[in-house]
Structure 1
Amino acid sequence: MTDGVEARRAGELIARLDLTNLNEICTEADVAALCEKAETPEGPVAAICIWPDFVGFARRELSTRIKVATVVNFPRGGDDVDATLAETRKAVSDGADEIDLVIAYERLADDPGFVEAQVRTIKASCGHAKLKTILETGRLFDEGAIRTACHAALSGGADFLKTSTGKVEVNATPASARILLEEIGRAGATVGFKPAGGIRTFEDADGYMRLAETICGLDYPTPERFRLGASSVLADILAVATGTERPGGLAGY
């Protein structure tokens, strides 16, 4: 790619970024800093993704053009639907625009119907908020299990398929992303896709968007249908967008 094309692609990636802080020691001050960072010199990111306790604060701090995403049933992906329902209703009441639900992935092998019902139940309580289902692909281990997770989430009415929590050893990979995108494509390419965790550079981020374009079509990865779950990768993408020196080291989730 030429520098001009890279800069344009970098700007497009910023508009598709879910800027994330899900650190256990996150504070309100950290969320305030994240909100400020979300308004970049190259335009706003798509959303910030934070713990449920900070949703109300973030919604007050942010421009309405930036979505507030939060996580439920996170990160373990348990099977207590009532507890997850309570989390979801509170988050939506506090102003969440998007709910990132960890499915009960450990139940998939024996009872995929439970996961489908779990997703459907949480979706029914999301109101205006979009439901992004986290499949935790790094814990599913084989292609068949990942496809089963996709089918359960899609059948339950998920608005997005998301690879990972970013809290396990293996998070987003091109191989798992391809499977999710193939299933989205078979379902009509109306459901969104979000790789999360391990996205460290502009090249990583752009690779996922190119994969989405290849499998689901060039017009598929709009900010409404394609997101990147990452945080400090923003510095690298901004450097590419502005043609400035890129930071050294790695960016984390």
Structure 2
Amino acid sequence: MSRVIESDEQLAQKALGLLELTSLNADDTSERIIALCERALTPVGNVAAVCVLPRFAGLARRTLDSLHAREVRVVAAVNFPNGGASIAMVESETHAAMLTGADEIDLVYPFHAHLAGDKRIGGEMIAACKAKCARRGLLTVTLETGVLRDSQIIHDACRTAIREGAAFVKTSTGKQIVSATPQAARILIEAIAELGSQVGLKASGNVRTLSEARIYLDMAQARFGSFWLEPGRLRLGASSLLDDLLVELGVGP
């Protein structure tokens, strides 16, 4: 398949529109979240989304709306970062985030329980979270592939996420030693292709440069075609990537 994005500048412009900026720290403040939302609007276009902890979902949505950026999605990360096994907690976090303004939920898969032998809780948690998202909220399932490690385990977890209604499957939280890798993304892409699903992919963690972003864009395009390079199908969870893209586009520091 021929490359649609030919130059670094074209690639940078495309990647900018796929970015999901994140601030997911225990010590996050209102000021930090407002700054994140302001950063989502650049002189050369807006990013796709911002991802915050559930307690900041309402603030993020209000801030973006006040900046006339309704199209920038607010994603609330639940069960973050440790991927616990409490479905009740996930339901509570999801309900609160949706109620206060989240457009999407990012659920960390219960990877520890899965590795300990509980193969059912992942599907049950995803289904419960999906139900709390209601019709208007998209659901991402973060698989923490760097911890699951084994390709078959990752593949099986991904298929579970897709079957239970995930809109996106995501490589990692970015909080583990191993985050996004091309190998993990390839496993997720193949699971998506196998099920003939409309599910998208998020590559998150260790995507810091334009050349690293190119790997994931090329991979998705090679498997699904150039139409996949849009924020409803592919996103890059990579706040540190933004500076590199802005430099390439001539508006960076």
TM-score scaled to structure 1, two decimals?
Answer: 0.92
Cα distance between partner residues in 1 of 2:124 and 2:229: 28
Indicate conservation of the 8 Å contact 2:162/2:197, yes or no. Answer: no
Q: Which residue in the other structure is 2:242 paired with? A: 234
> Is residue 209 of structure 1 aligned with residue 211 of structure 2?
no
Q: Deviations over 1:121-161 (max 9, x none)?
A: 11011021110000000001211111111111112111110
Aligned residues: 244
The match for 2:29 among 27, 30, 45 is: 27
Which structure 2 residues correspond to residues 37-48 of structure 1 after superposition, within 5 A? Answer: 37-48=39-50
Q: Which residue in the other structure is 1:186 paired with? A: 194
**One-letter code aligned to 1:158:** A
**One-letter code aligned to 1:183:** A
**One-letter code aligned to 1:207:** I
> Is residue 224 of structure 1 aligned with residue 226 of structure 2?
no
Cα distance between partner residues in 2 of 1:215 and 1:54: 36
Indicate conservation of the 8 Å contact 1:72/1:101, yes or no. Answer: yes
Cα distance between partner residues in 2 of 1:112 and 1:221: 33
Cα distance between partner residues in 2 of 1:237 and 1:196: 16
Query: What CA RMSD, in Å, does the superposition of the two structures yield over aligned residues?
Result: 1.7
**One-letter code aligned to 2:184:** S
Q: Deviations over 1:14-59 (max 9, x none)?
A: 1110011112222111111111110011110000111111111111
Cα distance between partner residues in 2 of 1:230 and 1:182: 22
The match for 1:124 among 119, 131, 136 is: 131
Which structure 2 residues correspond to residues 158-169 of structure 1 after superposition, within 5 A? Answer: 158-169=166-177
- SS of equivalent to 1:227: strand
Q: Which residue in the other structure is 1:92 paired with? A: 98
**One-letter code aligned to 1:124:** A
- The structure 1 segments of at least 4 consecutive aligned residues displaced by more than 4 Å after TM superposition are none
Q: C-alpha displacement at 1:189, in angstroms?
A: 4.5
> Is residue 102 of structure 1 aligned with residue 108 of structure 2?
yes
Q: Which residue in the other structure is 1:251 paired with? A: none
The match for 1:67 among 63, 73, 76 is: 73
Cα distance between partner residues in 2 of 1:191 and 1:66: 19
Cα distance change of structure 1 residues 156 and 99 upon mapping to structure 2, 3 Å threshold: same
Q: C-alpha displacement at 1:4, in angstroms?
A: 6.9
Q: Which residue in the other structure is 1:78 paired with? A: 84
> Is residue 177 of structure 1 aligned with residue 179 of structure 2?
no
Cα distance between partner residues in 1 of 2:60 and 2:161: 28
**One-letter code aligned to 1:41:** P
> Is residue 145 of structure 1 aligned with residue 153 of structure 2?
yes
Indicate conservation of the 8 Å contact 1:197/1:230, yes or no. Answer: yes
